[in-house]
Chains A and B, each alone.
Chain A
Amino acid sequence: MEYRIEVENLNVYFDELHILKDVSLKIPKNAVTSLIGPSGCGKSTFIRTLNRMNDLISTFKMDGTVLLDGGDIYNPKVDVVDLRKKVGMVFQKPNPFPKSIFDNVAYGLRVHGINDKDILAQKVEESLKAAALWDEVENILEKSAMGLSGGQQQRLCIARTIAVEPEVILMDEPCSALDPISTTKIEDLIHKLKNDFTIIIVTHNMQQATRVSKHTAFFLHGEIVESGLTDKIFIEPEDKRTEDYITGRFG
């Protein structure tokens, strides 16, 4: 199996707080990997390590290696801006910019120097189609993104992320603020996207993990208890703690 991301012996600290403890995980290429576990177990911190979003927090310290396509992303020579272009992120709360729908999707392209109107229009259309939002917004592209529903906003954020053509998409509980119908749409979208992108999704929803992902890693107190094929983890987990969690005995 080909791996897109390989994390080895990752430790993350915020001040003296030891958040991730000796975490190792391999993320397969062009597939969906779910990260499950109770709140505060370090899942979000883990994916924010993969696009160096934790760099924004002044107390962040880490050791270990994080390889993207074999290259260490924490190497001092790495251009963080370039890395984040390759590793896109969709956040828990839909966070479109207070701009028009078109400008939201075009934002990433523009900051990377694409200003040609025709190219922008074409890429925006492609991205919105890929995010299954085009039919709903085709005629209101110039309207503010803030007027869309929560589910539409989240698909817009996905369109915005796809537009810059990343290799990896990190999703931090993308459906936790959405209703069941919007959630279904996002999950359908994830199925569509997995052929072209490597997707890592943090979720609190066990059913969602089984529905969307091929691989799953179970986090507990900053460690990975178990990881592997989703089917295996959910049907015959090796660790007692995994079994307790997925059967709803805690968490």
Chain B
Amino acid sequence: MSKWDEEYFIEKGLLLTAISSIIIIALIIIFIFREGIPALQSAGVFNFLFGMDWAPTDGKYGIFPMIIGSLGITALSLLMAVPLGVLCAIFLAEIAPANMRKILNPTIQTLSGIPSVVYGFFGLVLLVPFMRTQFGGTGFSMFTASVILTVMILPIIVSVSEDALRSIPQEYKEASLALGATHWQTIKNVIFPAAIPGIITSIILGMGRAIGETLAIIMVAGNVVQIPNSIFDPVRALTSNIAIEMGYATGVHYNALFATGIILVFMIIVLLVIANYFHYKKKVTIGGGYL
């Protein structure tokens, strides 16, 4: 085999592996659509998306409360995890002495390795009773689910943000210090703004995990299909809906669960597009070239 042939086969082989992942995703999406679209047709897309009632036995398939549930849980957990995670990353990247970092970094990595069922179980046994005594109600709530999710997405936000902060050239830091800026002024005015694109990436990754999480949320969110009056009311997430009912759903009900999946996929795509837009916009502003 000539050298040229070898190159050819290696390149085509690599192309094949790259394409295979696209094919797998495409197949899954086609399948979800094939199974889900009948439900959207029978209920009507508008009624399905904005319907307030989910009562499969009466033929009512409205998922609006669950869209609110998913978005609410995700937003609330990001609200807690982003400030906590980013500040933690700043501490690790800039302030923590090397010894402390050697202990803290693996600890945070371990958090991301714990299976979600363990988090859910922990939440069920400890957090739910705590919430019940502190805030009343059953303890199963949007807030409880958000607290669990916060802990679950924290490691992603911390580690990706820390990498972003660390990758800022030392020259910026030296330039700022040489002008008589304090360490904190340097972090606030130079290092942090330059790291924003990477920090946004960390938030996107955390958000993706939060919106897709299923098991831990089922165990602590209460799963009542309703638009919550407060963050201490139980809610059901889109992911939970599929997992809870898939065991016994048949006919249109079965299709409606796949339709829920379609909506979930769309929501994630929309959120990713928005987040990527901000990521890109920020990069243009900060990186090379004119504003």
Measured CB to CB, the residues of A under 8 A from B are: 51, 53, 56, 58, 81-82, 84-85, 88-89, 91, 93, 95-100, 107-108, 110-112, 142-144, 146-147, 157, 160-161, 164
The 9 A-B pairs of least Cβ separation, nearest first, read A85-B180, A95-B171, A108-B179, A89-B178, A111-B181, A84-B180, A147-B290, A95-B175, A111-B185
Q: Which residues of the partner chain B approach A56 to less than 8 Å between Cβ atoms?
A: 174, 177
Partner of B289, one of A84, A95, A108, A146: A146
8 A Cβ contacts from B96-127 to A: 98
Contact A91 B180 (CB under 8 A): no
Contact B181 A81 (CB under 8 A): yes
B18 within 8 A of partner (CB): no
The distance in angstroms between the C-alpha atoms of A241 and B291, with both chains bound, is: 51
Contact B176 A144 (CB under 8 A): no
State the majority secondary structure of interface residues on B: helix
B50 within 8 A of partner (CB): no
The distance in angstroms between the C-alpha atoms of A164 and B176, with both chains bound, is: 12
Q: Which residues of the partner chain B approach A107 to less than 8 Å between Cβ atoms?
A: 176, 179, 181, 189
Can you identify 23 A-B contacts, CB atoms within 8 angstroms? A53-B174, A81-B182, A84-B177, A84-B180, A89-B174, A91-B171, A91-B174, A91-B175, A95-B169, A95-B171, A97-B175, A98-B193, A98-B286, A98-B287, A107-B176, A107-B181, A108-B181, A111-B176, A111-B181, A144-B285, A144-B291, A147-B288, A164-B179
Contact A111 B182 (CB under 8 A): yes
Interface size on B, residues (CB 8 A): 25
Q: A143-B291, A146-B287 are in contact. Are A95 and B180 (CB under 8 A)?
A: no
Contact B175 A112 (CB under 8 A): no
Q: Which residues of the partner chain B approach A96 to less than 8 Å between Cβ atoms?
A: 175
B205 within 8 A of partner (CB): no
8 A Cβ contacts from B148-205 to A: 169, 171-172, 174-182, 185, 189-190, 193-194
Q: Which residues of the partner chain B approach A99 to less than 8 Å between Cβ atoms?
A: 193
The distance in angstroms between the C-alpha atoms of A93 and B174, with both chains bound, is: 12
Residue of B nearest to A99 (CB): B193
Q: Which residues of the partner chain B approach A160 to less than 8 Å between Cβ atoms?
A: 175, 179
The distance in angstroms between the C-alpha atoms of A88 and B177, with both chains bound, is: 10
The distance in angstroms between the C-alpha atoms of A98 and B194, with both chains bound, is: 7
Contact A112 B180 (CB under 8 A): yes
Q: Which residues of the partner chain A approach B285 to less than 8 Å between Cβ atoms?
A: 144
Q: A97-B190, A111-B185 are in contact. Are A88 and B179 (CB under 8 A)?
A: yes
Contact B179 A161 (CB under 8 A): yes
Q: How far is the CB of B81 from chain A (nearest CB, A)?
A: 27
The distance in angstroms between the C-alpha atoms of A66 and B285, with both chains bound, is: 42
Residue of A nearest to B168 (CB): A98
Most chain B beta-carbon contacts within 10 A, residue among A97, A108, A112: A97
Q: Mark B251-277, 1 if CB is under 8 A from A, else 0.
A: 000000000000000000000000000
Partner of B288, one of A81, A110, A146: A146
The distance in angstroms between the C-alpha atoms of A53 and B171, with both chains bound, is: 12
Q: How far is the CB of B17 from chain A (nearest CB, A)?
A: 37
Q: Which residues of the partner chain B approach A111 to less than 8 Å between Cβ atoms?
A: 176, 179-182, 185, 189
